[in-house]
Structures are given as C-alpha cells and as structure tokens.
C-alpha cells in the first residue's frame, strides 16, 4: 500500500500536526489525539479519563453547551471521541468545505473546555448509566477487558477498571478536572490530524490560524507502565448474574507493541491462525470436533491491535456448557498451542490469515474516519504516521516459523485465567 503525500510539522506550542490530502471525495476528517488514557488516571479516580472525554463535549469558554454538536451536524458532519489505554481521541468527519469549522471547534476546546459543577454532575450520571447499560446489566458485560487485567497485572495503571468505579466517579471534583486538563491537555501532549479533501498549504494556514495561539504548557513525562511477567498461572473468578453459560478468558503478555513490532505482528497472525474462521485451529478442534465450547476467539491486544504501548495482552476467550469443565477445555487448548509451537502452520494456512488482515487494512484506510484516527494514533504511539501504510507488507513478511515462535511464548505457566461463573453456577 503506497503512502500518500503526508505532511508533518510541529507548531511552536508543541502541537504535532499530520496532513494527509486525498481529493478522491469531498470529505475531510479532523482528529485530535491526546497522550493520556485510562492507564494515566490517578489512583482513586478510576474512570476519570473517560469521564473527562465526556466533559470535552460540554461546551467551552467560547461556545455554549451543545454548540459543538450543532455546528458539526448543521454542516452535514459526524463526530465522536473515545478513551483508550494510552490516548484519548476526538474527531469530526465533514464535507471538505467545513474544514475550518472543525479546526475552530477542536482548537476552542483545547484552549478551555467549560468545566462547571453542573456539567460534571451531569456527566458523572451519564457515565454511570453507560456503565449500567454496557457492563452491569448486560451478559458478559466488561468481559474480558475490565475483569481480566486485575488477574494478569499487579500495578494500578495496568490492572484497574478504566470504565470507573461508581464511588470514584462520584468523588471527582472540579479541582480534579482542572488538574487533569492542565496536566494532559496541553498542545504539546497532542496530535492534530487532517485527512481528506484539502490543499495542504491552505490547511496549514488554517491550522496555524486556529491552533497557533493556543498557549503552550509544560507536558508531563510519559511514565513506563512495564511490570514483570507472571511467574506461574494466575486465576480469578467473576460471578455474572446475567450470563447464560460459563466462560473464561486467558491473558498472556505480548511483545512490546512499539519496540518489538515484528514480534507483535507474529502474535497478531497467531490469533488469526487460532480462531479466524471455521477452518482455524481452535474453531476446528474445540467447537467442531470435540464440541467443548460454543464459541472461541483469540485476539492480539486486549482492545484490539495497535491500541496501546507496552504492556499489552494476548487474549483467548471461550464460552462452554456447564457440563464441560474449564480444565478440560484448557487441556485441549494447551495441547493445540503446543502442536502449533512445535509444527509451524503451513504456508497456505498462514496465507489465508494474511489475506484477511491485508484486505481489512485496505478497507479501513479507504474510510476517511478510520484513516484519520489511524494516522493520529500512529503519530502519537510510534512517531510515524506513514507506518499504517507499511503494515500490509510487514504482516505479509511474518513467516510460519514466526507464528510458531509466538505460540511458544504463550506459556500456561505464565498467564492469567479468568472464569465467568453464571449466578448459581459452580466453578
């Protein structure tokens, strides 16, 4: 996949900018990635990064509440934001004629969001309701991303619930909000990306016009969240009153996504070989031949690939009937993993997985929203937005031996096992 004509520069206030022109359709994407996610939120304030994302949509010093929504929608555009382990992103997708409007809106809230007691109380309630809907009142809610990390990891940044504990959310104060904004929402801690239909020189002028006078502030040092790998198998349990069947999640540590990218990609291909499609290893054995589980999936990256810095998690999840014990399923799964570690997949088996991934990447990069967000995330995490266009070639270079080597690293004596037990069920 050939990289487009990318333009990168940094404003005097520290804001990094990526411009990716593409005149094939009259649409433009604008995103801002801030280098703070839920791994950076303070202890005792679980869910704060996500709560603050909500607050960024509640007006600014220049615009009243809901004005951001109105300006984007009246231009025929869409918008959203999301909180990740190591970054928070905000974006607009609009007709290209509305580029300046999107830049104004993002620059305006980068200067000063409207932090009021009313907005804070309102958004705490909104986030609590979101948690009720998506986690507390849903079968397998938060599985595995909320409940697996505290089994696999021991430090607060890696192990805590990024969605938030109700007690922590309710104790959030305006002073907490102001301190979080001052610390993490400086222009030097952000990446602005513009992708789509625009003239680069004109876009640069607009960026300088709207973001150039955002005051520079000191940016925080980026902490390392590294911690030792497990020395043995770790087990935990979650009782779920809504779950119809028992389930489990396995968590393994992966290579550093940033500094060991090729090893990380080998794990990505391993996940595909294990569970991508009916012909995959775990689908064939656990679902079709031995009928031990009703569903099984493997994934590189607990939130998907390229979502986080080190440490990141390789996960395997499965649901099974109460008549089948988890240890029976694990024995079959471990046997299949050992087979793969000792006998690499065939070229044909790996080629299917590679083709699916390459096609998926091409499809994503055809969509302005996906391209905009990927460019910003890769600039923030890797310092190289063009890397998104090199991924198909890097993935295609993964060999069967690389996949076998990745399988060999996923050891039963260095993993977490989270069991989900339906209410009234037994282990």
- In CATH, what number is assigned to the domain containing residue 275? 3.30.830.10
Residue by residue, DSSP assigns 340-385 as HHHSPPPHHHHHHHHHHHHHHHHHHHHSHHHHHHHHHHHHHHHS-T
pLDDT at site 426: 53
Kindly state whether residues 134 and 283 are assigned to the same domain: no
Nearest CA to 93 among 110, 81, 84, 83?
A: 81
368 found inside a domain: no
Check pLDDT > 90 for residue 4: no
Kindly state whether residues 205 and 249 are assigned to the same domain: no
Nearest CA to 372 among 122, 191, 125, 119?
A: 191
Which residues have a Cβ under 8 Å from the Cβ of 321 and sit 6 or more positions away? 245, 246, 294
Residue by residue, DSSP assigns 252-317 as EE---TTTTHHHHHHHHHHHHHHHSSTTSHHIIIIIIIS---SEEEEEESBTBTTS-SSS-EEEEE
59 found inside a domain: yes
Kindly state whether residues 125 and 17 are assigned to the same domain: yes
Kindly state whether residues 244 and 172 are assigned to the same domain: no
Q: Exposure of 401 by Cβ count < 10 A (0-12 exposed, 13-18 middle, 19+ buried)?
A: exposed
Kindly state whether residues 93 and 184 are assigned to the same domain: yes
CA distance 264 to 306: 9
Check pLDDT > 90 for residue 66: no
366 found inside a domain: no
CB 56 within 8 A of CB 90: yes
CA distance 69 to 105: 10
350 found inside a domain: no
Question: 175-207 burial, b for 16+ CB within 10 Å, e for fewer?
Answer: ebbeebbebbbbbbbbbbbbbbbbeeeebbebb
Average confidence (pLDDT) over 48-54: 97
248 found inside a domain: yes
Check pLDDT > 80 for residue 277: yes
Domain that holds residue 151: 7-211
218 found inside a domain: no
Kindly state whether residues 192 and 293 are assigned to the same domain: no
Check pLDDT > 80 for residue 3: no
385 found inside a domain: no
Average confidence (pLDDT) over 127-151: 96
CB 329 within 8 A of CB 286: yes
Stated pTM of the model: 0.95
CA distance 180 to 52: 8
CA distance 261 to 378: 12
Phi, psi of 23 (to 5 degrees): -95, 15
Please state the domain count of the chain.
2
Residue 417 host element (H or E): strand 416-422
pLDDT at site 427: 47
- Tokens standing for residue 87: 């970054």
CB 198 within 8 A of CB 265: no
Check pLDDT > 80 for residue 401: yes
pLDDT at site 1: 46
CA distance 400 to 269: 9
């Amino acid at each position: 996949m050939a990289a487009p004509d990318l333009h990168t520069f940094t404003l005097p206030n520290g804001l990094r900018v990526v411009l990716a022109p593409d005149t094939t359709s009259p649409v433009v994407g604008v995103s801002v990635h801030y280098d703070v996610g839920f791994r950076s939120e303070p202890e005792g304030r679980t869910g704060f990064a996500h709560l603050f994302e909500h607050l960024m949509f509640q007006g600014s010093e220049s615009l009243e509440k809901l004005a951001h929504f109105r300006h984007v929608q009246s231009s025929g555009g869409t918008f959203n934001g999301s909180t990740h382990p190591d970054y928070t992103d905000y974006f607009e997708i609009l007709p290209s004629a509305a580029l300046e409007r999107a830049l104004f809106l993002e620059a305006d809230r980068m200067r000063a969001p409207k932090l009021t007691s009313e907005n804070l109380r309102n958004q705490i309630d909104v986030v609590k309701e979101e948690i009720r809907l998506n986690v507390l009142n849903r079968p397998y809610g938060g599985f595995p991303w909320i409940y697996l990390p505290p089994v696999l990891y021991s430090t607060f940044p890696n192990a805590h619930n990024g969605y938030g504990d109700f007690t922590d959310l309710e104790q959030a104060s305006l002073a907490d909000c102001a301190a979080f904004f001052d610390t993490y929402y400086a222009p030097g801690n952000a990446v602005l990306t513009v992708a789509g239909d625009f003239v680069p020189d004109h876009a640069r002028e607009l960026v300088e016009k709207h973001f150039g006078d955002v005051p520079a502030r000191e940016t925080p040092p980026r902490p390392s969240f590294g911690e030792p790998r497990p020395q043995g198998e770790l087990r935990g349990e979650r009782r779920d009153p809504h779950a119809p069947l028992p389930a489990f999640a396995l968590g393994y540590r992966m290579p550093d996504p940033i500094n060991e990218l090729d090893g990380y990609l080998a794990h990505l291909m391993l996940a595909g070989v294990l569970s991508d499609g009916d012909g995959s290893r775990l689908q064939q054995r656990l679902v079709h031949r031995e009928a031990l589980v009703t569903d099984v999936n493997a994934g590189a990256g607990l939130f998907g690939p390229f979502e986080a810095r080190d440490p990141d998690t390789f996960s395997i999840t499965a649901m099974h009937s109460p008549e089948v014990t988890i240890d029976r399923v694990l024995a079959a799964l471990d046997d299949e993993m050992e087979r793969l570690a000792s006998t690499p997949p065939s070229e044909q088996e790996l080629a299917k997985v590679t083709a699916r991934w390459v096609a998926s990447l091409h499809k994503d990069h055809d969509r302005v929203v996906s391209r905009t967000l990927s460019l910003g995330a890769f600039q923030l995490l890797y310092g190289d937005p063009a890397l998104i266009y090199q991924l198909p070639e890097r993935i295609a270079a993964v060999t069967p031996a690389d996949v076998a080597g990745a399988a060999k690293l996923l050891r039963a004596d260095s993993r977490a096992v989270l069991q989900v037990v339906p209410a009234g069920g037994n282990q």
